[in-house]
Structure 1
Amino acid sequence: MTTTPPTPDWQFRILAEKANGTVPQGAACLVSPRHVLTCAHVVRNAVAPGPAGPGSRVTLDAPRADPAWHSTATVVDGGWWSGDASPWDIAVLVLDARAPAEPAPRGAPWRPGRRIRIVGGPASDAGRWLHGVLRGSGGRYAEFAQLDVDTGAALGVVRGYSGSGVRDEEEDTLLGVVTEQAAEGRVGWMIPLDVIPRIWDPEPGAAPPAVPLDARDERRLLRGLALKVSRLHTVLLPDSRASFALGLDERLRSWVRLDQDAFSFSHRVVEAAHREYGVLEDVLGDLEAREQGSAGMREVWSAAAPLLGRA
């Protein structure tokens, strides 16, 4: 007997590498094909002891959608609120990989008495469900909405539920995200979706954002690009290659050796520039200046276009 697999869920986990291994820090909700929404304090915990804010990078997985999926994500400019202004505890991040689910459907504005459910927590990879009811605005800030966990429930809102989506119990639409708890988890507060600026929405008339490449396509494109780069005079000639390597961003210089063959050298450069530091276009710009418009350089730009979002 075959069973239909469940629809991939739009809630992911944010992870951190700690002394005791990979530790979930909270949840994140997919709100566009490329963007996730979580609490600022979840990001802060994930990147500690480093600073947190726009540009901070975290790792996510998606055991409720695809157990094999992992991605990094970056807090976007204008997508950080951490106690200095409403909505007080929110971070919007852009994913580096294609999401394994469709974005959460947006629910109608919340109202007191609405039945809700939440999944998350640190106790199991795919989360545990809580059910409850929204009571009214209040808590640390007037924009927050109080939720009460059902009387007699075995579980409460504990550490690890932050960033989890608060869902309409019947429609499974997204109403907001969990931010705080009290009374041993019997009471929690959510930040309603309708008080969070929708910075993930494109400007009217703007082209939709490029969909991130999946890992297999990215690997193939990087190898193809490295092959084109390896045929450039700048890389083939030892003196020119040494000069080019010396001019690389110092972070990239540690990735390459001049005694590598041309392809290995090129592959290490483009892989680190694209995947690790996001400076591929700058590296290719330097090659362009050295190649002075060569036919080989035109082939390099063509091979790089999908990686640069220009396909």
Structure 2
Amino acid sequence: MDPWAACEHQVRAFLQRLGRGHPRYAEALTLQSRLQENIAQARLYGDTETRRAERAQVLDALNRLALEALGAALQDLAGEPSPHTATPGKRDIQVGGDVVGSVLITGDGNVVNLPAGRPAVPPPAGSELSPVARAQVRIYAADGKDVVGAGFLTGRREVLTCAHVVRAALGLTGHAPEPPPGSIPLDFPLLPSPNRLTARVVRWRPQDDLAVLELAADLPAGAEPAPLVEGGDLWGHPFRAFGFPAGHPEGVWAGGVVRGPNARGWLQIEDTKETGYRVQAGFSGAPVWDDALGGVVGMVSAAERDPAVRAALIVPTSILRKACPDAIPGRPSTLPSNPFTDILAVRDPARFVGRERLLERVLRLLETGSVALVGERKIGKSSILWQLKRQLESSGSVLFWDFFEPAPAQQLLRETVGHLGGSGDTWEDFRRAVRGRRVTLLLDELDLALERGFDLDTLRGCRALCQREAGFRLVTASRARPGDIFPKPEKGSTPWDFLHPTEVGSFTEEEARRLLDHPWAPEAPRFDGATCRELIALSGRHPYRLQRAAYHRYETLADPDYDWRAEYERDMLEALG
């Protein structure tokens, strides 16, 4: 039996129950499309860790949507009759209408008007608003009833939109050579509290279909200007835009790719999907967010009326800046260096992100004893050792032995004794050099200790030093617990019982997000919330996997054709097997 058939059946049942008229139907349809594409690839080319992670993410989003919209999980919806199935004496529930608003025809034939000014469908609880969502504006006719177009915040009180949207809002015909007078109602539909505001035209460039509005009041909480960016050749860059086509005053999202400029210098954009909404009438004035550059690269001005031609034209940033010289700049077109380049142990304290609490815990344990760090490969044990070295050096001597290096323990002893001001290469020489001093010995890759000559007797010597010398501490790092590395002694105490075992595991969700924020490189663009969730799910919050996933995902900002998932999988296969 096809292992994915039941999953597809559940999603189809959910869409049927939800109905085309539901305001979140488009969101569900988009998720279904992503799921079908994932399953089709798995059927053709086989399943992989990446596909499983992506599929789990989409199914999780669908399940949350089902719970929020219908109050039931996906598996509970499969096989149940649709609520829109006609029953005697009832009519199907439908949602329709034009840009002025929507109507709901209930089962008993009553018509309920849904006003155009109602808030847009809010994002799921706990999700983060993207920068373009915080800047998004919905513009109404002067009487406040009809939605006539979109706009976006570019400054402290400045909103950019199309000149033809302003003419529609004020009921003007023909061309107005001067900024037309009048008050224009608008709101920020994607904010939690989209209160109605008013604005007036302060800059007027009808030759470029541009108008700048100035708000009469302060910005609502959460509103932020969108950065304008320019990136040279944008061909193939993915974009997103939010608009208000007929029948959708609450707004819908559309996406696609940027193409090239026409003879006028305006950019062509295209919807390359077979399903979902396209940029069309009602999107005029909407900011076009370039996912590769992380900023607004243009504003929608015109769209094809023929639904078979899923294309539109946008006014590029280079022209928008003429109307908005004070607009906040985006990041430079030259992409800052990739911040996710750490492959070996992290020594720079500024880049040591996500393990701060664990480091503090180890430091507290060292106040009274010694510690054994235990964790899988590439989990971050060596990075913790290096940060311990940095912090403890101010209060005593810190010695670092890395058994990954092919140096025998006797050589390490000789070098260490010399570092402490003594001479010799025996354990007795080391014990004399340590006497009466505050010394911390860090042993990395303890799994290889026996190969380097660090045997059970040497470990016994460390245990004895910890008992006799109040200032001596030992910290080991290994994949296996010390008791599984050294042979169990036939007599006496186990030499490793003085080490406090401390597990080094995966990041928490919050720690993973802090790493993805790369505070050590503030000039580099940050991933949006959806991308962060994808990277966290893909990596399982494993620090090394997360770092490498973020590295490859960041590379797509410079090259949209970069197959980051394939490169990540190849990377993991080579590094972790």
Q: Same fold (TM over 0.5)?
A: yes
Q: Which residue is 1:40 aligned to?
A: 163
Structure 1 position 27 matched with structure 2 position 150: yes
Q: Aligned partners of 2:303 and 2:294: how far apart in 1?
A: 22
The answer to whether the Cα contact below 8 Å between 1:63 and 1:125 also exists between their aligned partners in 2 is no
Q: CA deviation at 1:4?
A: 3.4
Q: CA deviation at 1:200?
A: 4.1
> Judging changes above 3 Å, is the alpha-carbon distance between structure 1 residues 165 and 195 closer, same or farther for their aligned structure 2 residues?
same
2:139 to 4, 9, 14: 14
The answer to whether the Cα contact below 8 Å between 2:139 and 2:150 also exists between their aligned partners in 1 is yes
Instruction: Between 32-41 and 96-105, report the one with greater CA deviation.
Output: 96-105
Q: Which residue is 1:152 aligned to?
A: 274
Structure 1 position 98 matched with structure 2 position 218: yes
Cα deviation code 1:245-269 (max 9, x no counterpart): xxxxxxxxxxxxxxxxxxxxxxxxx
AA of the residue aligned to 1:12? V
The answer to whether the Cα contact below 8 Å between 1:16 and 1:24 also exists between their aligned partners in 2 is yes
Q: Aligned partners of 1:14 and 1:38: how far apart in 2?
A: 9
Q: Residue 145 of structure 2: SS of its match in structure 1?
A: strand
Q: Aligned partners of 1:91 and 1:11: how far apart in 2?
A: 15
Q: Aligned partners of 2:312 and 2:213: how far apart in 1?
A: 24
Q: Which residue is 2:244 aligned to?
A: 121
Q: Which residue is 1:74 aligned to?
A: 200
> Judging changes above 3 Å, is the alpha-carbon distance between structure 1 residues 173 and 202 closer, same or farther for their aligned structure 2 residues?
closer
The answer to whether the Cα contact below 8 Å between 2:255 and 2:278 also exists between their aligned partners in 1 is no
The answer to whether the Cα contact below 8 Å between 2:271 and 2:311 also exists between their aligned partners in 1 is yes
Q: Aligned partners of 1:5 and 1:36: how far apart in 2?
A: 25
Higher RCO (CA-CA < 8 Å; seq separation 6+) = 1
AA of the residue aligned to 1:14? I
The answer to whether the Cα contact below 8 Å between 1:54 and 1:74 also exists between their aligned partners in 2 is no
Q: Which residue is 2:488 aligned to?
A: none
Q: Aligned partners of 1:134 and 1:5: how far apart in 2?
A: 27
> Judging changes above 3 Å, is the alpha-carbon distance between structure 1 residues 198 and 33 closer, same or farther for their aligned structure 2 residues?
farther
> Judging changes above 3 Å, is the alpha-carbon distance between structure 1 residues 43 and 67 closer, same or farther for their aligned structure 2 residues?
same
> Judging changes above 3 Å, is the alpha-carbon distance between structure 1 residues 171 and 128 closer, same or farther for their aligned structure 2 residues?
farther
Q: CA deviation at 1:67?
A: 3.7
The answer to whether the Cα contact below 8 Å between 1:29 and 1:37 also exists between their aligned partners in 2 is yes
Q: Which residue is 2:321 aligned to?
A: 197
Q: Aligned partners of 1:115 and 1:16: how far apart in 2?
A: 32
Cα deviation code 1:66-88 (max 9, x no counterpart): 44412111111xx21223xxxx2
> Judging changes above 3 Å, is the alpha-carbon distance between structure 1 residues 151 and 30 closer, same or farther for their aligned structure 2 residues?
same
Q: CA deviation at 1:180?
A: 0.5
Q: CA deviation at 1:153?
A: 2.7
Q: Aligned partners of 1:197 and 1:105: how far apart in 2?
A: 11
Normalising by structure 1, what TM-score? Answer: 0.56
The answer to whether the Cα contact below 8 Å between 1:31 and 1:104 also exists between their aligned partners in 2 is yes
Q: Aligned partners of 2:326 and 2:284: how far apart in 1?
A: 27
Q: CA deviation at 1:125?
A: 4.1
The answer to whether the Cα contact below 8 Å between 1:132 and 1:150 also exists between their aligned partners in 2 is yes
AA of the residue aligned to 1:137? P
Q: CA deviation at 1:198?
A: 4.4
Structure 2: runs of 5 or more not aligned: 1-123, 328-577
Structure 1: runs of 5 or more not aligned: 204-311
The answer to whether the Cα contact below 8 Å between 2:154 and 2:225 also exists between their aligned partners in 1 is yes
Q: Aligned partners of 2:195 and 2:187: how far apart in 1?
A: 6
Q: Aligned partners of 2:172 and 2:318: how far apart in 1?
A: 32
AA of the residue aligned to 1:27? A
Q: CA deviation at 1:15?
A: 0.1
Q: Return structure 1 stretches of 4+ with deviation > 6 angstroms.
A: none
The answer to whether the Cα contact below 8 Å between 1:74 and 1:93 also exists between their aligned partners in 2 is yes
AA of the residue aligned to 1:44? R
Structure 1 position 161 matched with structure 2 position 286: no
AA of the residue aligned to 1:145? L
| Percent identity for Structure 1 against Structure 2 | 32
> Judging changes above 3 Å, is the alpha-carbon distance between structure 1 residues 16 and 67 closer, same or farther for their aligned structure 2 residues?
farther
How many aligned positions are there? 192
The answer to whether the Cα contact below 8 Å between 1:120 and 1:164 also exists between their aligned partners in 2 is yes
Q: CA deviation at 1:156?
A: 2.0
Q: Aligned partners of 1:163 and 1:3: how far apart in 2?
A: 28
> Judging changes above 3 Å, is the alpha-carbon distance between structure 1 residues 172 and 97 closer, same or farther for their aligned structure 2 residues?
farther
For 1:42-57, what aligned pairs fall within 5 Å after superposition? 42-49=165-172, 52=176, 53-56=178-181, 57=183
AA of the residue aligned to 1:117? R
The answer to whether the Cα contact below 8 Å between 2:155 and 2:326 also exists between their aligned partners in 1 is no
Q: Aligned partners of 1:32 and 1:17: how far apart in 2?
A: 23
Which structure would you say has the larger Rg?
A: 2
AA of the residue aligned to 1:80? W
AA of the residue aligned to 1:190? I
Q: Which residue is 1:61 aligned to?
A: 187
Q: CA deviation at 1:157?
A: 2.1
Report which of the two has the higher share of helix.
Answer: 2
Cα deviation code 1:161-196 (max 9, x no counterpart): 000111012554111100001142611000011222
> Root-mean-square deviation (CA), in Å?
2.6
